[in-house]
Amino acid sequence: MEPFKTLKSRTVVLAQPNIDTDQIIPARYLTTTRRDGLGAGLFADRRFDGDGRPRPDFPLNRPEVADCEILLAGHNFGCGSSREHAPWALLDYGFRAVISTGIADIFRSNALRNGLLPVVVSETQWNTLAGFEGEQIEIDLEASTVTAPSGERMAFEVEPFGRFCLLNGTDPLGFLRSREDRITAFEESGPWRR
């Protein structure tokens, strides 16, 4: 995983609440044994009509948002399934961060483990940021702040271990493996674990 330190990008807004993982990546794209290439299916049923033509009213289809790396999403983003294909699709499409007033549990931990930064802000802060759609905002993970074009700085919280891994490009599996002795001892001590 690439380290994530700061990110400066314009934003695209998807204000609708409860955008679920089936909308992020419809199930028919899940018959893959790989993790790359899923950007093609990102929001597929929202981005394209029945004939595969882009829907002009879907925010991601506006030409001026083409290189946005920050998605400003409605409340409870990523609810639904545990499919890691959802953050994979967002990353493959080019997003590096999602800002919302609420991000679903499993999606958030999946995002964090893949270098897609989940940022939770208050409703007021979200509204402020939405007012700057299309303008550059800055995310600083070290300082854990989002800075609006107005200069307003908003602090956010990320689970400290996930933050550490992201800042340093550390693989959490390495941490788990460094505890193998303890795991073995635990297995041997458990009253009902052979």
Partner 1 sequence: MPSDMPGVKPRTLFEKVWDAHVVEAETAETPAILYVDLHLVHEVTSPQAFALLRAQGLPVRRPERTLATVDHAIPTDSATWRAGLVRMPEAARAQIRTLGDNCADADIELLGINSSRRGIVHVIGPEQGATQPGMTIVCGDSHTTTHGAFGALAFGIGTTEVGHVLATQCLLQRRPRTLNVILDGRLPEGVTAKDAVLAVIGTIGVDGGTGFVIEFSGSAVRAMDMDQRMTLCNMAIEAGARSGMVAPDDTTFEYLAGRPKAPKGKAWDEAVARWRQLATDPGATYDAEVRLDVSRLEPQITWGTDPGMVTPVTGSIPEAPAGSPAARAVDYMGMAPESCMQGQPVDVVFIGSCTNSRLTDLRDAARVLEGRKVAQGVRMLVVPGSQATKRKAEAEGLHRIFEAAGAEWHESGCSLCIAMNGDRARPGEVVVSTSNRNFEGRQGTGARTLLASPLTAAAAAVAGVVTDPRPYLNSHRRIA
Per CB under 8 A, residues contacting partner 1 are 16-18, 20, 22-23, 26-28, 30-35, 45, 50, 75-76, 79-84, 102, 104-106, 109-110, 113-114, 159-161, 164, 172-173, 175-177, 179-180, 182-183, 186-187, 190-193
Q: Name the residue nearer to partner 1 (CB basis): 80 or 94.
A: 80
Q: How far is the CB of 102 from partner 1 (least distance, A)?
A: 6
**What is the rounded distance in angstroms from the CA atom of residue 61 to the CA atom of residue 180?**
48
Provide the minimum distance between the beta carbon of 84 and partner 1 in the complex, in angstroms, as a whole number. Answer: 4
CB 113 within 8 A of CB 162: yes
End-to-end CA distance of the chain: 36
Whole-number Cα distances in Å, 132 to 65, 74, 124, 140, 148: 13, 15, 13, 18, 8
DSSP designation for 52: S
Minimum Å gap between C-beta 152 and partner 1 is 26
Q: Which two tokens stand for residue 5?
A: 């330190």
**Nearer of residues 28 and 63 to partner 1, judged by Cβ:** 28
CB 25 within 8 A of CB 44: yes
Nearer to partner 1, 104 or 137 (CB): 104
3-state SS class at 15: coil
Is 157 within 8 Å of 120 (Cβ atoms)?
yes
Query: Which position has the token pair 């204000």?
Result: 15
Nearer to partner 1, 48 or 132 (CB): 48
In angstroms, give the least distance from the CB of 22 to partner 1.
Answer: 4
* Nearest residue (CB) to partner 1, 114 versus 147: 114
Question: At closest approach, how far in Å is the CB of 10 from partner 1?
Answer: 25
